[in-house]
């Protein structure tokens, strides 16, 4: 989906740029309008409304508006993506895979002491918590809110990082843990520093 949005953005941006260019810079620096471009490609006998200076101005302004609208949409998508929350279990899996691909990561070496994939992801989720903000629901609330740092030292992650329980208490303290999409790479970079 991200690649598709990138290509759509490029097409829309360049379409607006071409509109503005053809209306603003006629070939051979003729001072006027789009009609000169039509003549270059062999289109003759254009209607009078297309040859007028008003049309030239309208197309130029429309091109600029098109470019600005496309840039605004692109910024909106980027900002929205940075605010999107990703379940911690998926983020931990992504971090685990990236660290493993880097090779000789101390954190990957530490996961060998655990037997199940779930325990390994719980360990990675705990290691990530030192560097990025977590969000979760504190039952019975369904509202996502930032996890307080001191809570992270009072218990352990379970269910591949999706839930958190306090030491000595079987009840879930907070659940549906998540991180911002934009911070996953930060966790990879920070954890990737530790080599064996």
Q: What is the dihedral of CA 81, 87, 89, 93, to 10 degrees?
A: -10
Burial class (CB in 10 A: 0-12, 13-18, 19+), 95: buried
Q: Is the pLDDT of residue 76 over 60?
A: yes
Q: What is the pLDDT of residue 93?
A: 92
Contacts of 118 (CB under 8 A, 6+ apart): 158, 159, 160
d(CA 89, CA 95): 10
Q: What is the pLDDT of residue 113?
A: 80
**Any idea what DSSP says for residue 143?**
-
SS3 166: strand
Q: Helix/strand/coil (H, E, C) string of 21-51?
A: HHHHCCHHHCCCCCHHHHHHCCCCCCCHHHH
- 86-114 pLDDT, tens per residue? 899 999 999 988 888 887 677 777 777 87
SS3 145: strand
d(CA 126, CA 152): 8
pTM over 0.75, yes/no: no
d(CA 179, CA 196): 27
Q: What is the pLDDT of residue 195?
A: 62
Residue 127 host element (H or E): helix 117-128
Question: How many Cβ atoms sit within 10 Å of the Cβ of residue 88?
Answer: 30
Tokens at 172, concatenated: 């879930």
- 186-195 pLDDT, tens per residue? 888 888 776 6
d(CA 131, CA 129): 5
- Does the bond joining 28 to the residue before it have cis omega, within 30 degrees of 0? no
Angle formed by the axes of helices 2-24 and 53-83, nearest 10°:
160
Tokens at 67, concatenated: 């470019």
Highest mean pLDDT among 15-24, 34-43, 155-164, 184-193: 155-164
SS3 15: helix
pLDDT band with cut points at 50, 70 and 90 for residue 1: very low
């Amino acid at each position: 989906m991200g690649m598709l949005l990138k290509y759509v953005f490029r097409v829309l941006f360049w379409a607006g740029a071409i509109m503005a260019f053809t209306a603003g810079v006629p070939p051979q620096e003729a001072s006027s309008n789009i009609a000169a471009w039509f003549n270059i490609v062999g289109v003759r006998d254009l209607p009078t409304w297309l040859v007028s200076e008003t049309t030239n101005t309208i197309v130029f302004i429309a091109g600029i508006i098109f470019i600005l609208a496309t840039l605004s949409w692109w910024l909106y998508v980027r900002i929205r993506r940075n605010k999107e929350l990703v379940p911690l279990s998926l983020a931990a899996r992504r971090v685990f895979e990236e660290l493993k691909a880097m090779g000789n990561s101390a954190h990957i070496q530490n996961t060998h002491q655990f037997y199940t994939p779930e325990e390994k992801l719980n360990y990675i989720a705990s290691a990530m918590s030192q560097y990025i903000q977590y969000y979760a629901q504190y039952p019975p609330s369904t509202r996502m809110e930032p996890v307080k740092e001191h809570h992270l030292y009072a218990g352990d992650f379970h269910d591949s990082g999706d839930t958190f329980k306090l030491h000595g208490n079987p009840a879930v303290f907070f659940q549906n843990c998540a991180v911002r999409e934009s911070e996953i790479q930060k966790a990879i970079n920070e954890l990737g520093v530790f080599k064996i």
